[in-house]
């Protein structure tokens, strides 16, 4: 799944990285379709119920990074909507943004990983994907520019 990188509509100091709205809409449509099939058929098979449960989880699952320069913090929110856990990291402790590129894989795809490097040496793995384009490189550059830190490992 490709993540979407976007500026916050309400606060330009916040750069958001997370699943695009289309992700939730797609799972919502699948759930509605499955419910319609179950109602029209008059019964629900165990497979349909499992698929419905997975679709509903896809609708309410959150995995979002917020790079907030106004509050000088990075927030990572993950979990199921109201039960999502938010971790906070001080943006002042960010040393760099690192783009890891792995070896070539099948179908000429490359493995990418974007990480925020903290002064302690810890890395926060922000995004990873096996892709044939440089969208993750663009995300890494945008995060580095937003935080005012260098991009390394390009």
d(CA 74, CA 89): 5
Give the sign of the dihedral formed by CA 119, CA 122, CA 127, CA 131.
positive
Position 56 scores a pLDDT of 94
For the 4-22+60-152 domain, the top CATH level (class) is: mainly beta
pLDDT band at residue 76 using 50, 70 and 90 as cut-offs: very high
pTM of the model: 0.83
Indicate the average pLDDT of the chain: 88
Q: Note the pLDDT tens digit of each residue in 34-59.
A: 999 999 988 888 998 999 999 999 99
Which structure tokens are listed for 77? 């929110």
- What stretches of the chain show up as alpha helix (H) in DSSP? 21-41, 46-60, 135-147
Query: What is the C-alpha separation between 105 and 15, in angstroms, rounded?
Result: 31
């Amino acid at each position: 799944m490709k993540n979407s990188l976007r500026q916050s509509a309400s606060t330009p100091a916040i750069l958001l990285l997370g699943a695009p709205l289309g992700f939730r809409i797609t799972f919502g449509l699948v759930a509605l379709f499955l419910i319609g099939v179950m109602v029209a058929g008059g019964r629900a098979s165990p497979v349909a119920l499992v698929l419905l449960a997975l679709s509903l989880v896809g609708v309410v699952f959150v995995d979002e990074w917020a790079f907030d320069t106004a509050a000088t913090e990075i927030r990572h929110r993950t979990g199921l909507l109201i039960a999502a856990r938010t971790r906070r990291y001080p943006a002042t402790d960010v040393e760099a943004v690192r783009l890891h590129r792995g070896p070539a894989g099948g179908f000429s795809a490359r493995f990418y990983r974007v990480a925020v490097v903290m002064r302690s040496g810890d890395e926060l793995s922000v995004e990873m994907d096996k892709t044939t384009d440089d969208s993750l490189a663009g995300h890494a550059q945008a995060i580095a520019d937003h935080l005012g830190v260098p991009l390394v490992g390009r």
